[in-house]
Each structure stands twice: as C-alpha cells, then as structure tokens.
Structure 1
C-alpha cells in the first residue's frame, strides 16, 4: 500500500504524521510526505519521499507578536496562495497512492484530490477542540481578531460561527478547484474536510473525546526519539538540581519573554534551560545558571527537569505529561487554550493567562507547578499516557487498503 501523509504548519503539525510514516515504513508500507519545505531534510534523513508545499515557515517565529495583524486583503492573498499551492503539491504527491491522510487543521486540498483519484481519505485532528462538540469551544485565532471564550456565549453558537468562518474563508477557493475538476460544490467546508468520522490523534487521558459524535480516538502519534543529549546539556544537568525548561517551539514568543522566564526561575532559586526555537529566544547574560539550547530530544530531557514551561502545543504537552514533568502553559492560539485548561483540570500544572506575561505572574504560576503534590500528580498521570497511537492509526489504514 502506498500512503500519502500531508499537513500544513510547524513542527507540531508535522511530527505526528512523521511518526505515522515511520511506523508504516516499519510495517513495510510505502509512504510519502507532503509538508512545508522546512522539513525536507528531516524527511530525507528518515528515508521518506518528500513533496514540499507552500513557503518556508521558520521565519515566522521571529515576527513580533505585537505587530499589527495582516489586513483583510493580505489575508485573502495568503489564503488563496495556500490553497493553490496545496492543490499543486498534493496532486503531484498523490500520484499512484492508495490512500491520503491529512493531519492537522488546514489541509484544504487533500480530500478533493482523493475524490478525484477515487481513493480513501482520512482526516486526523491533534486536539479535541478542533472537532465540534457542545463540551468545548472551537480553537481561537487572535490574528483573525478572535479572543478566548469568556463563557458568556454558548459553545453551540461558537461552533456555528466557526462553520460560517470556514465557509467565508475557504468555500469559494475550494469550490473553484472542484468545479475545474468536474466535482460538485461543497456547502459546509469544515464538515467536508473533517468527514463524518474523523480521527483524533490525542491521548485519551490528556485530551479525551466527550463521546457526543462519532470520532475515532487513536491516541497521540508519538515519534520515538533515541538521540543523545549534547555533552554541554548533559554537563549542565549534572551540575545541580533539575532546572526548569522554557520553550515556545515553532511559534512567536511575546516580547521580553526570555527575561521574564529567566527572572521567574531565579526568583524561585531554579536554574533554567531556554529553547531558542523559531523565535530565537536568548539568554539575559552569561551567568552559569542558564543554558541556551537548540532542537532537542524532549522525551529524554523532560524526564530530567523540574518543570516544563511552554506554549501549549499538543506535542509538547504530551511529551511533558509522558515524562511526568509539571507544566506551566502560556497559550496563544489554536489548541493551546484547550491544553492549558486540561493541564489545570488534571492537576499536573498551571494554566497561565494568555497575557500579560510578567515576572511576578510567571513566578506565581511556576511556584504552583513546582509544589510537591503537583509533581506527584504529574508522575502519576504519566503512567497512563499511551504510546501506541501511531500503531493504532497504521492498523486502521491497513484495514482500509484496497483488496
């Protein structure tokens, strides 16, 4: 069987489909990956044929999060360019494939390409709040002028607005491509892309599906990582008590976040490890209580830190929970508010308000996360996090392969 896995976004969107690709390869299946060009080298190292889609994204992490959002016209151009690039790339990558799997949230072209080719299509979300339910609100995108729900508007209303937003942004562009291919127009874009039976690639303890609609929860797609830590990082870890890890991964970081994070750690007598990430976070000074690092094996590192302070992406949340590390989540958009809420509900950390991030507020949140009862609870929850999600998804694909 030849499987095309495709996604749009940063590492948090790409790593799960890479995990599934690696598992399928181990099961002797042919796999192709269609993703942003930032991940071409990584796919090559893993021996996965790769088709780039869209522009390089890594530079967006350095953009000022306080800058003015794109104008409506700029957004329209960005959306139109994205849809055109997806149809071109996914169509080329799907040549000869038996099934297409779309991972994440904004893969617009994949189902239409699968429909053209008469092959099965599956969509996988990485967080429950990407899928409609009266039990949670939809994701939030500040760049579109949205704010997290304050509870005054019901979830049913919020999801109705989400449906309308999807249709307003994507409907004309998607249907233009469908008309050109001789296909009927789509009236509900999000429903069409997500299907009547989407997959949920999230751990059932951390992000349980409430069960009010038909969703297949496979568990998180975790890529095994056996890379050693650098000698410098090993030495830093061995020199004292477990430090606090700070990282914002592939997303933009608020202004002065490095200063705020390091000052908060020092206020609590803790050392700090700062992930540079796409935002290129830096240290305040050359003091020996802080270390700056690049991309790292989280699975190993998180078992050796006192706490993990991060943006609340599904991958980092799952990695920290699996390692038994208390968490402080500073959410900005998309699924991050959901994961921040879940960390608080599970008692394994603290959800910091989206903003402002001050030394005092982060010190308070980190102090709570470092309490012994939170650490004990985090270690307990870690024993329930499953690691077989990619295998479950692979089994579903193998069951769906053509006879």
Structure 2
C-alpha cells in the first residue's frame, strides 16, 4: 500500500502525522509526508520521504496579518497545495489529511481514485451540538445550548467560503465538479479523531473512528546540561509556548511566579525565542527537547495548550497550566480543568501555578489512563482498507 500523509500545520500537526507515517512504514506501507519545510528534519530523521509545501511557517507566524491579507494567503496556499499534493500523490492508494485547512487533499484523492481520510487532532474542530467550534480570527466561541452551538458552527462554516472560488478553479483543472460547502468537503464523509478518548472524547452525535492521539515514541536522550540541571535540585517548572508568538513578559512572569513558590524553571525558547531574565542558576533555557522524557521529571508544565503538548503532559502524569492563545487551545484548557489535572488561565501567576501543583495526585492517577498507541491503531486501520 502507498500512503501520502499531508499537513500544513505547525509542529503540533507535523509531529503526529510523522508518528503515523512511522507506524505505517513498520507495517510495510510505502509512505510519504507532505508538510511545511520547517519539519523536514523531523520527517526524514524518522526515515520517511518528505515533500515540502508552502513557506517556512516560523517566518509566516512571526507576521500579523489583516483579514484581507489572510484571505490572500489562503488563496496562495490552496494553489500551492494542489500543485505539491498532486505531484506527491502520484500512485498513492490512500491520502490522509492531518489537521485543518487541507483544501487540496480530498480533491486530489478523487482525481486519482485514492481513498481519503480526514483526521482531526481535537474533538471541537469537528461539528457537534455538544460543543462550540474552535477559536478562529480572534473569536473565542463559548459552549452553550445545542441550538447555540449549532448556530456557532454555521458561522464557522462561512469562514471557509472565501476559499471556494480558488478551490473550485483547481478542481476544474482536475476535471472535477465544483463543490459548495468547503468545510464539509475537507472533513469528508467519515472524519477520524486522533485524540485521546479520556482527555478529548468525542461527544457525538454519530459515531466516528477515534484512534487515540498520534504520539511518537521519542527515545532521544536529554541534553547532558539539562540532565545535570534536573539532577541538581527539586523538580522544576517547565514553561514553553511552542510555535506561539509571545512577548518576553511571558517568560518573565513565569520565572517570577515559579520563584515566588521556591521553584526552579526550565524555559523552552520556542518560536518566540523566549529568553531568561538573568543569569541565576535556578533557571535554564533550552531548545528542542524530548518532551516525553522531560515532562516526567518536572513538577508542573506550563504551555500554550496544543493538542500534542497537552496529551504528552497528561500522559506524563504531571499537573499542567494551559495558557491558550488560539484555535483548539481553549478546548484543551477546559479539558485539563474537567479532569482536574491542571488549570487554564490567561496568564501565569504564583496563585495559578500553586493551584496546579496541588493537583499532582490527580494528574498522576490520570497519566496511566492516557493511550499512547493511537498512531499504531490508525496505521492498522489504514492498512485494513
């Protein structure tokens, strides 16, 4: 079987699709990944064929855009996706779209007669009367009644309409009929949910395939300098915001909050290039890291609320504080609070951090309940098609 797995998202989407690709390869599939160029080393380092799509996301994420500029960017992205995915999918039996805004993948699958799967990494990115849609363009919907939630989902559908003309122009080039509903076209008739059923269950209605989160088995050792820091005292607080833009005040606030409680800090620089506020030995700044290994050795995990980071933190059995910025991150903050394994807040304070630290027992009990075989389950489902 030949499988193409495609995403245009940040590391939170590139990492799980890579985990899926690794499992598919182990089961004997011929697999390639299409992803932004930022993640070439991640994919090829796992022995998977890689095709870049679009510009460096790290550069794109650093620029704030107006709604009109975002619309133009979407149009350019649609054209680029059709060009790249169309070429990379030659001879594929199955195409998997991992995450949001996969405009080309289903159309390309139609044009070559391949099977199509859309996989979401978070339940609230799929329509349901039981939850509001994710935050988009600065709007953060709030869960309401079934009628209110469905009304929010209708507004969510309209956000995709601006790309309909571009999408249909590309479909016409492939000899395909136009579509009217862009969002539901991308989601397909039977989307999958690649999220942990304890941490992010599907509320219904209707059944779908919920595989569990697509987590990589990360065997990388911790950097010796970081390991030495961890060994030198009590478990520190981890602070990192991944690919989020953030002011340096965020790092300053985190360090102050931890110090107020007598805690050391591991600061991950991330795409915002966060920096330490001084040269004191109670803090260390790091780059890319094996989160699975690190999160088991810290007292609390403060992060932006991405699906992968939230799941890895939960599986580590370590309390967490979610500082949501956008999209599904507010949902994950709510789920962390629902399970009483952490807190969600607009900013980190000593009081919020202290509340989270007091939930260590609940977090430790939840950790073993988080599935780590989701990528394998998904790969086996695909191989059985």
Q: Distance in 2 between matches of 1:136 and 1:397?
A: 28
Q: Which runs of 5+ in 2 are unaligned?
A: none
Q: Distance in 1 between matches of 2:159 and 2:183?
A: 9
Question: Who is 2:293 aligned against?
Answer: 300
Q: Distance in 1 between matches of 2:116 and 2:311?
A: 26
**C-alpha contact 2:138 2:326 (8 A) present in aligned 1:** no
SS where residue 123 of structure 1 aligns?
Answer: strand
Q: Distance in 2 between matches of 1:80 and 1:311?
A: 28
> Is residue 343 of structure 2 the alignment partner of residue 350 of structure 1?
yes
> Is residue 378 of structure 2 the alignment partner of residue 393 of structure 1?
yes
Shift in Å, 1:239: 0.7
Question: Who is 2:241 aligned against?
Answer: 248
Shift in Å, 1:151: 4.8
Question: Who is 1:90 aligned against?
Answer: 85
**Of residues 188, 193, 197 in structure 2, which corresponds to 1:200?**
193
Q: Within 5 Å, give how 1:319-334 maps onto structure 2.
A: 319-334=312-327
Shift in Å, 1:58: 1.6
TM-score (norm 2): 0.97
**C-alpha contact 1:196 1:214 (8 A) present in aligned 2:** no
Question: Who is 1:66 aligned against?
Answer: none
Question: Who is 1:368 aligned against?
Answer: 355
Shift in Å, 1:269: 0.8
Q: Distance in 2 between matches of 1:61 and 1:257?
A: 18
Q: Distance in 2 between matches of 1:150 and 1:186?
A: 30
SS where residue 296 of structure 2 aligns?
Answer: helix
> Is residue 210 of structure 2 the alignment partner of residue 225 of structure 1?
no
CA deviations on 1:331-370 (whole Å, 9 max, x unpaired) are 01111000000000100000103xxx3xxx5211111001
**C-alpha contact 1:2 1:29 (8 A) present in aligned 2:** yes
Q: Distance in 1 between matches of 2:207 and 2:196?
A: 17
Q: Distance in 1 between matches of 2:243 and 2:223?
A: 21
Shift in Å, 1:41: 2.2
Shift in Å, 1:29: 1.2
Question: Who is 2:35 aligned against?
Answer: 35
Question: Who is 2:74 aligned against?
Answer: 79
> Is residue 151 of structure 2 the alignment partner of residue 164 of structure 1?
no
**C-alpha contact 2:133 2:141 (8 A) present in aligned 1:** no
SS where residue 275 of structure 2 aligns?
Answer: coil
Shift in Å, 1:71: 2.5
Give every structure 1 segment of 4 or more consecutive aligned residues whose post-TM-superposition deviation is greater than 4 Å: 60-63, 150-153
Q: Within 5 Å, give how 1:2-401 maps onto structure 2.
A: 2-60=2-60, 62-63=62-63, 69-141=64-136, 144-149=137-142, 151=144, 154-167=148-161, 169-353=162-346, 357=347, 362-371=349-358, 374-400=359-385
Q: CA RMSD in A?
A: 1.4
